[in-house]
Amino acid sequence: MKVQNKRDDHGLTERLDAVLDQFLAEKALVGTVLLVLRDGELHYARAAGYADREAGRRMREDAIFRFASLTKPIVTAAVMRLIEQDRLGLNDPIDAYLPAFRPRLPDGTVPVITIHHLLTHTAGLAYGFLQPSDGPYPTAGISDGLDAPGRGFSDNLARIAEIPLAYPPGTKWGYSVALDVLGAALERLTGEALPDLVRRLVTAPLAMHDTDFVCRDPARLAVAYGDAIPEPVRLGNTAVIPFGGASGIRVAPDRFADPGSFPSAGAGMLGTAENFARFLETIRTGGAPILQRDSVAQMTRSQIGDLPVDLRDPGWGFGYGWSVLNDPVAASAPHRAGTLQWGGVYGHSWFVDPALGLTVIGLTNTAVAGMTGRFPMAVRNAVYQAVIA
């Protein structure tokens, strides 16, 4: 990818080069691809570090990464397209499509879980990696969509449905396996495999040829690494990545290669930084050719009222596919209101600031340092320091 805009970037290149050089020199990251676009023009693009440290394979701008939660907004776009086609409704109960999926509240009652609840993570479901090792999801062996190669949808859905809901749907926000449940419903509704559906509705129309639930070119796949001292460790066939005080993120980096693995709508895709930039720019500019403007407007405003997003600072809400900044002052953030942001546990962070025309994507192969903490904060600060200079 070639930087098209050669005008003065107010020190953007120098600032971002310094950030990447620092984190690579500290061995906090193994490799990264960082893109910054302003009003659709590419202002910064750099691949740095290693795609495979042990083999000496340098990172390239067209490297393919395990997307993890970058999958969610792509699948969400497919959901919104089906809604436009009147094949699905936001208020539809999920058991209309998955009759056996009827998880109960602790008191034994079966509440209505809607498509809206699943899209906004307000369904009462959870993620195992956010629970202690003896929590209900790890104990039940529920896959977060990153592990358990060979497991199909029906097995995982049955395990999820057996666990009592954490709260009545719509009353709280809780990051969860909701998109995986929704992915299974999409297959039942359409009769298509989820990868075929997403390809038809989203990635093919946008020419995102490197983005899929399988790896399109294994030679370009970045090796997955996990945080460690003195340097990140190469992840084996199965691994647990420490994450806060919870049980850790259970991963099987090559689960996508097992045809028996359910296609995780929350974490299962792979792709390139350029492809994801193409998707985000489509959303920023109104959604054509995959979505109507009204659908994008729904996706890009908070849909959860005053419910706090417990993984974010105050001031953030949640739309369909990502968090949405409602109050920059409360969030102590340089972003403008309406900024979209999320990440991926394999080491990714991104944001779109529509008011400033900014799209910033930082993909790394280092979990979780590339997703949260010092690195994405340093990238964010460097970008805004240049933009407001």
Nearest alpha carbon to residue 124 among 73, 183, 177: 177
- What are 43-102's pLDDT values in tens digits? 999 999 999 999 999 999 999 999 999 999 999 999 999 999 999 999 999 999 999 999
Q: Judge contact between 112 and 93, C-beta under 8 A.
A: yes
Length of the chain: 389
Segment 338-352 mean pLDDT: 98
299 Rama class: left (phi>0) / alpha (psi -120 to 50) / beta: alpha
Predicted pLDDT of residue 9 = 81
The residue segments making up the domain with residue 355 are: 12-72+204-216+264-387
Tokens for 279?
């998707």
Query: Is 68 within the bounds of a domain?
Result: yes
Which are the contacts of 8, defined by CB distance < 8 A and separation ≥ 6? none
Query: Is 134 within the bounds of a domain?
Result: no
* Residue 220 reports pLDDT greater than 90: yes
Predicted pLDDT of residue 387 = 93
**Residues above pLDDT 90, as percent of the chain:** 96
Query: Is 87 within the bounds of a domain?
Result: no
In the annotation, is 69 catalytic?
Answer: yes
Mean pLDDT of the chain: 96
* Residue 4 reports pLDDT greater than 90: no
- What are 240-256's pLDDT values in tens digits? 999 987 889 999 999 99
Predicted pLDDT of residue 10 = 86
Provide the number of structural domains found in the chain: 1
pTM passes above 0.85: yes
CA 211 to chain centre: 13
pLDDT band at 2, cuts 50/70/90? low
Query: Is 189 within the bounds of a domain?
Result: no
pLDDT band at 298, cuts 50/70/90? very high
Nearest alpha carbon to residue 274 among 69, 46, 68: 46
Q: CA-CA distance, 111 to 123, in Å (whole number)?
A: 10
Predicted pLDDT of residue 245 = 78
Query: Is 315 within the bounds of a domain?
Result: yes
Beta strands in 134-267 (DSSP E): 225-226, 233-234, 239-241, 249-251
Query: Is 335 within the bounds of a domain?
Result: yes
Q: CA-CA distance, 314 to 309, in Å (whole number)?
A: 8
Segment 132-145 mean pLDDT: 97
Q: In degrees rounded to 5, what are phi and psi of residue 214?
A: -125, 165
Predicted pLDDT of residue 6 = 47
Q: CA-CA distance, 265 to 119, in Å (whole number)?
A: 11
Segment 228-237 mean pLDDT: 97
pLDDT band at 1, cuts 50/70/90? low
**Residues above pLDDT 70, as percent of the chain:** 98
Query: Is 163 within the bounds of a domain?
Result: no
Given the residues 69, 247, 261, 349, the one annotated as active site: 69
* Residue 125 reports pLDDT greater than 90: yes
Q: What is the CATH number of the domain that holds 292?
A: 3.40.710.10
Query: Is 365 within the bounds of a domain?
Result: yes
pLDDT band at 323, cuts 50/70/90? very high
Q: Judge contact between 350 and 361, C-beta under 8 A.
A: yes
Predicted pLDDT of residue 108 = 98
C-alpha distance from residue 195 to each of 11, 75, 204, 270, 277 (Å): 41, 9, 11, 11, 20
